[in-house]
Amino acid sequence: MSATPITWFEIGTDRPEETEHFYGDLFGWTFVEEGSADGGSYRVTGAGGETGIGGGIRALDGTSPNYAIFYAEVADVADTCRRAEAAGGRVLVPARTTPTGLTLAHLIDPAGNHLGVFTSPPAQD
């Protein structure tokens, strides 16, 4: 069993309403608008309930291609980036920390597939 769970997904689309309706109709998922750091739309779902993973739909402006990505929760994002490069992958978006304390990076595997890694913000006392 792996110690690196897949705990989040993200769908980037220039048609967020249509995408939200599709997954809602198909799987019964509901979404809540939380917004993004850049002021755009980011709709979050607890799609998996107790047994699956949550995710979100990011609204794109039409200049970027649509995408779907999964995120693995790791202990150290920078170390994971180094190990990904050593294994033949590459870092697409270097490690960065959001205002909420979440640290994340985007990687490309040797076959060209896009994946994300993240570390949750430190617990607040």
pLDDT in tens, 60-112: 988 888 888 988 888 999 999 999 999 889 999 999 999 889 999 999 888 78
> What three-state secondary structure class fits 108?
strand
> CB burial class (10 A; 0-12, 13-18, 19+) of residue 74?
buried
Q: Where are the domains of the chain?
A: 1-73, 74-125
Domains 1-73 and 74-125 share a fold: yes
Give just the sign of the alpha carbon dihedral 72, 114, 101, 24.
negative
CATH superfamily label, 74-125:
2,3-Dihydroxybiphenyl 1,2-Dioxygenase, domain 1 (3.10.180.10)
Between 3.40.50.300, 3.40.190.150, 3.40.50.2020, 3.10.180.10, what CATH number should domain 1-73 receive?
3.10.180.10
pLDDT at 2: 60
What proportion of the chain, given as a percentage, has pLDDT over 70?
96
Task: With cut-offs at 50, 70 and 90, classify the pLDDT of residue 113.
Answer: confident
Structure tokens at 50: 């107790």
Q: pTM of this prediction?
A: 0.71
